[in-house]
C-alpha cells in the first residue's frame, strides 16, 4: 500500500486500521464478486491439475507406461469446462430459465438409464455411471445444476404470484421433483450426491423465505431419510461403522480414511514437497478423486490446506454476495443454490478426509479428477459470473474497463479496431 501524507507534510506508511478500511473498500466495488469467482476458480483449477498429476503419476506409470495419462484427460475436460463457463457467463438470465426444464428432464432420463443393466457401471458399492464404450458419464452431476435452475425458476414464479406463505403451493412441485432426482440417485446407491441434492432443495427454500416451521419440518424429513438410507445398505453401514470405530477398522472398511489422515498428518506445516508424498505410492486408495485433499495436505502441508479452505471461502462469499445484491428473484435463488451446492460438497469432501464426516465418495469441486463433475461445476460458475454482471454498478464498471485482453491483443496485431 502506498504511503499517505502526514500532518507535518512528511509521508508515512498507513496504519493497520487504514489498511483494513482500504481492504473493506475493495470488497465494496461493483466487480468484486465477478473477479473473486473468476480468480478463485482458476486458482483451484490450477491446483487441481497439479494435484491430479501428483496423485496419479506413479500408478499411471505402472499401468499405462505414462505418468500423464489422467492429467491429460483432466486437462482436456478442463478446457471444455472453461469454454462452457465462458459461454455461460455471456448468457442472459432468461436463457438459464429456458434451459432449466430440458436440463432437468434430460437428467431424469439419464439417471434412469444408469439403472439399465449393460449401460451402467458400478464402483465401490455405487452405480453412478453410464458407460458408452470408452466414454463414461455420471448424470447425477448435471442433475445438480438442473435442480438449481428448475427449483429457482419454480420459486421465482411462485414469489411473483405471492404463493410462498403456505406450504402446499411452496412445496409443489418442487419437493416431488427434488424427491424424484434423489430417489433415482439413491437407487444407484449414491448417498453423498443425494445429500447434495437435498441440500440444494433446503437452500432454495431458505432463500425463498419458507416459513420457519415448514423449513424445520423439511430439514427433519431430510435428516430422517438420510439416516435411514445410511443404515439399510451393507456397504454404507460398513463405512459408518468404520467412521465410528476407526482404530478397529483401520485395515478394513476405514482403511482409506486412516491412510488419508496419515497423509494429512505427515505433511506438517509446509508439506513433503510436490511429488514427494508417500500416499501416491499405493498406500491411499483413489487419491486423485475423493481423497485429493489428503494429497494436498501431505505435499503442501497445513499451509496448502488453509489456502484451499480460503479459496472455497472466498468463492462462497462471492456467490452469496451475488445472491444478496441482485434484484431478480430467479437470479438470487439460482446463485444461492449453486453456491450451497459447491460449498456443501467441499465441506463434506474435506470433512471426510480429516475424519469429521463418514466417507461419502463425492469429489472436491474443481480439484478432484473427473470430467462429469468438473464441466457442470464450471458451467455453474459461469452462471455466477453472468449474474455478477447484474449487480448494481457492474455493467457500468465493465463498460468503463474498455476492451478485453483478446480484443487488445488483436488490435496490437492490426486485426481489430481499438
What pLDDT shows up at residue 410? 47
What pLDDT shows up at residue 418?
A: 44
Q: What is the pLDDT of residue 180?
A: 86
What are the pLDDT tens digits along the chain (418 aa)? 555 555 555 555 666 665 555 555 566 676 788 889 999 999 999 999 999 988 888 888 887 878 888 888 999 999 999 999 999 999 998 999 999 999 999 988 888 887 776 666 655 555 566 766 666 778 888 889 999 999 999 988 887 777 666 777 777 888 888 888 888 888 777 777 888 888 888 888 888 877 777 777 777 877 777 777 666 666 666 667 666 666 666 666 677 778 888 888 888 888 888 878 787 777 788 788 888 998 998 889 899 999 999 999 999 999 999 988 888 889 999 999 999 999 999 998 998 888 888 877 788 999 998 888 899 999 999 999 999 888 776 676 666 665 555 454 445 445 545 4
Which pLDDT value is given to residue 120? 60
Cis peptide before 173 (omega within 30 of 0): yes
Q: Which of 77, 104, 179, 128 is nearest to 290 (CA)?
A: 128
Q: Which residues contact 386 (CB under 8 A, 6 or more apart)?
A: 88, 89, 90, 91, 92, 93, 96
Evaluate the CA torsion angle 348, 353, 358, 359 in order and state its sign. positive
Residue-wise pLDDT for 261-279, tens only, equals 888 888 888 888 887 878 7
For residue range 67-110, list pLDDT tens digits in order: 888 888 999 999 999 999 999 999 998 999 999 999 999 988 88
pLDDT of residue 182: 83
Q: Tell me what pLDDT residue 245 has.
A: 61
CA distances from 99 to 32, 90, 148 (A): 27, 14, 11
* pTM for the predicted model, two decimal places: 0.85
Alpha carbons 185 and 208: distance in angstroms, whole number = 25
Q: What is the pLDDT of residue 242?
A: 65
Amino acid at each position: 500500500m502506498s504511503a499517505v501524507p502526514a500532518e507535518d507534510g512528511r509521508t508515512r506508511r498507513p496504519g493497520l486500521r487504514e489498511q483494513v478500511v482500504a481492504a473493506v473498500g475493495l470488497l465494496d466495488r461493483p466487480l468484486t464478486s465477478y473477479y473473486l469467482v473468476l480468480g478463485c476458480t482458476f486458482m483451484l483449477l490450477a491446483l487441481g491439475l497439479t494435484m491430479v498429476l501428483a496423485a496419479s503419476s506413479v500408478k499411471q506409470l505402472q499401468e499405462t507406461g505414462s505418468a500423464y495419462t489422467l492429467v491429460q484427460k483432466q486437462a482436456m475436460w478442463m478446457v471444455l469446462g472453461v469454454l462452457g463457463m465462458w459461454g455461460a457467463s455471456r448468457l442472459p438470465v432468461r436463457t438459464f430459465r429456458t434451459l432449466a426444464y430440458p436440463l432437468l428432464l434430460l437428467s431424469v432420463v439419464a439417471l434412469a438409464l444408469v439403472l439399465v443393466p449393460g449401460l451402467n457401471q458400478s464402483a465401490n458399492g455405487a452405480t453412478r455411471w453410464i458407460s458408452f464404450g470408452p466414454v463414461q458419464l455420471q448424470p447425477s452431476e448435471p442433475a445438480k445444476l438442473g435442480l438449481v435452475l428448475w427449483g429457482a425458476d419454480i420459486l421465482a414464479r411462485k414469489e411473483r404470484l405471492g404463493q410462498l406463505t403456505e406450504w402446499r403451493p411452496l412445496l409443489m412441485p418442487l419437493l416431488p421433483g427434488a424427491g424424484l432426482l434423489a430417489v433415482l440417485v439413491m437407487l444407484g446407491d449414491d448417498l453423498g450426491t443425494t445429500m447434495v441434492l437435498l441440500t440444494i432443495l433446503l437452500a432454495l427454500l431458505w432463500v425463498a423465505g419458507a416459513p420457519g416451521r415448514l423449513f424445520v419440518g423439511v430439514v427433519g424429513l431430510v435428516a430422517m431419510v438420510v439416516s435411514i438410507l445410511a443404515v439399510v445398505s451393507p456397504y454404507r453401514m460398513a463405512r459408518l461403522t468404520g467412521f465410528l470405530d476407526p482404530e478397529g477398522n483401520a485395515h478394513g472398511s476405514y482403511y482409506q480414511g486412516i491412510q488419508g489422515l496419515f497423509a494429512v498428518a505427515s505433511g506438517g506445516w509446509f508439506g513433503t514437497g510436490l511429488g514427494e508424498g508417500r500416499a501416491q505410492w499405493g498406500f491411499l486408495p483413489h487419491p486423485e478423486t475423493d481423497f485429493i485433499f489428503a494429497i494436498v495436505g501431505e505435499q503442501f502441508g497445513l499451509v496448502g490446506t488453509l489456502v484451499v479452505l480460503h479459496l472455497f471461502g472466498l468463492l462462497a462469499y462471492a456467490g452469496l454476495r451475488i445472491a444478496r445484491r441482485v434484484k431478480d428473484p430467479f437470479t438470487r435463488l439460482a446463485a444461492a443454490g449453486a453456491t450451497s451446492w459447491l460449498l456443501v460438497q467441499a465441506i463434506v469432501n474435506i470433512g471426510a478426509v480429516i475424519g469429521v464426516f463418514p466417507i461419502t465418495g463425492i469429489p472436491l469441486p474443481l480439484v478432484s479428477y473427473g470430467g462429469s463433475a468438473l464441466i457442470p461445476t464450471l458451467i455453474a460458475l459461469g452462471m455466477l459470473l453472468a449474474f455478477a454482471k447484474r449487480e448494481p454498478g457492474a455493467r457500468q464498471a465493465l463498460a468503463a474497463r474498455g476492451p478485453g485482453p483478446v480484443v487488445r491483443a488483436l488490435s496490437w496485431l492490426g486485426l481489430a479496431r481499438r
